[in-house]
Amino acid sequence: MRRPLLPWSAITLLALLSALVVAFPSPARAASLTQVTGFGSNPGNLSMYAYRPDGLPSGAPLVVAMHGCTQNARDYFDHSGWSKYADLWKFALVLPEQKSANNYNSCFNWFQTGDTARGQGEALSIKQMVDYAVAQYGSAPSRVYVTGLSAGGAMTAVMLAAYPDTFAGGAVMSGIAYGCGTDLTSGTLCLTSQKGYSPQQWGDKVRAAYPGYSGSYPRVSIWQGTSDTTVYPFNADQLRDQWTNVWGVSQTASRTSSLPGGTTLKEYDDSTGKPAVRLYTISGMAHGLPVDPGSGADQCGTTGQYYLDTICSTYRIAETWGLDGGQEPPTGLPAPTGLTVSGTTDTTVSLSWNAVSGASGYNVYRDGTKVTASPVTGTTHTDTGLTAGTGYSYAVAAVDSGGAEGGRSATVSATTTGGSSGQCVRASNYAHTVAGRAYVQVGLTYARGSGQAMGLWNVLTYHSLRETGPDYWVLADGEC
């Protein structure tokens, strides 16, 4: 049967609708975290999730980010801050996910030899994810990086050791040195018990992961809270010893600096003067990933279980990897320069800095925490209500007319006048030794200078120490 003819007006209407469909296609779907299947033989039985920001160019970097125990890829994606910088600086993310069938607590099996050797198990599954992303997303093979928290941090060390030819850099967040454990029992002991290996022995474990490898090794950053009672802080020192030995550099830092959030950075340079290893320690931080919620260029993430408000570690890591591409902060406001301490009293610290063009005000940060209720309009500020004879760290950030904050300045230190005889610091015995206020002999801690006994060297025993002379500390419990 022939179809009935349509009237001319109906034909015209259909033609116009067809033209509109062509002229105005459906809007593209926004980028989202997506599960990927068929990425390889997957001998470790892991799941792969990926994030490709809108407008991702060919040849962009790739970051592999791994969650900790009891977490998953979505949890890490939502809290860590990596999506912010992937969108801003245009690089792809791959987030491996452990299955409870492989590990009851969803931990990556960083301690099982079948999952940590090159070409086997979970390590090979993660390598296959990288290969898939490079092939399908056009990621640059020479700009692949890896990071992870806790068990994901330990797995990061595995990938850096087993596949040094794949990764340009890595960041181990509250993790474990490669080769510390070979099964569940020995791996669990690694969390709280030191191995006592020399740097050479630690380095040999990495070299044995890929025998005969003669290329360059990835540059490594290590992040650790001083009050971590899950992965004890000495694990960061073992990682430092391991990777400085692999690089053939000294275990003595080339330089030490202070960052927001009570963070101390020690850098260990290679022969060209470029840091091969960076060690970040966050004073008083427990077990978790350092984040710093906010709209500033160097702020990221959201807080939650194992996501702790101290400093945006993701920003610092991405910056050291050169993922920023030299772009300005989102507000366009650069960090203020010339921050100086113009005066101190027993209870105040006065600051001044250079003006930033386009700034309507400035936020002032003390020890990583904003202390100005609203932006100050000038280029000076006096911080009040402080404790006599106490040291503080300051930074300043410019704010535009819309309230958005630019990058933070370099930090400066100030010590208020007065007090008994000098600065007074309360911290764990471990933190005191890391800061040089105490030293360790046969597992016991002693105040530097006075030699007063402080008890066991760990993160659980706390004491107050007061500096009464240059590098001379005495017990001052109850005073600070």
* Residue 407 contacts residue 272 (beta carbons within 8 Å): no
* Residue 158 contacts residue 152 (beta carbons within 8 Å): no
| DSSP string of 398-460, one letter each residue | EE-TTS-EEEEPPPEEEE-S-SSSS-EEEEEHHHHHHTTSEEEETTEEEETBT--EEEESSSS
Other beta carbons within 10 Å of 139 = 24
Name the token pair of 200.
Answer: 């050479």
C-alpha 415/C-alpha 346 separation (Å) is 9
| DSSP string of 191-232, one letter each residue | TTS-----HHHHHHHHHHHSTT--SPPPEEEEEEETT-SSS-
* Residue 177 contacts residue 242 (beta carbons within 8 Å): yes
What are the φ and ψ backbone dihedral angles of 434, each rounded to 5 degrees?
-60, -40
Other beta carbons within 10 Å of 446 = 20
N-terminal to C-terminal alpha carbon distance within the chain: 97
What are the φ and ψ backbone dihedral angles of 273, each rounded to 5 degrees?
85, 10
Buried b (16+ CB within 10 A) or exposed e, 231-264: bbbbbbbbbbbbbbbbbebeeebbeeebbbbbbb
Buried b (16+ CB within 10 A) or exposed e, 344-355: beeeebbbebee
**Alpha-carbon dihedral 188, 189, 191, 196, rounded to 10 degrees:** -150
Q: SS3 for 24?
A: coil
* Residue 408 contacts residue 365 (beta carbons within 8 Å): yes
Which residues participate in catalysis according to the annotation?
150
C-alpha 293/C-alpha 311 separation (Å) is 9
Name the token pair of 461.
Answer: 């025993």
**Alpha-carbon dihedral 428, 430, 434, 438, rounded to 10 degrees:** 80
Total residue count of the chain as it appears in this document: 480
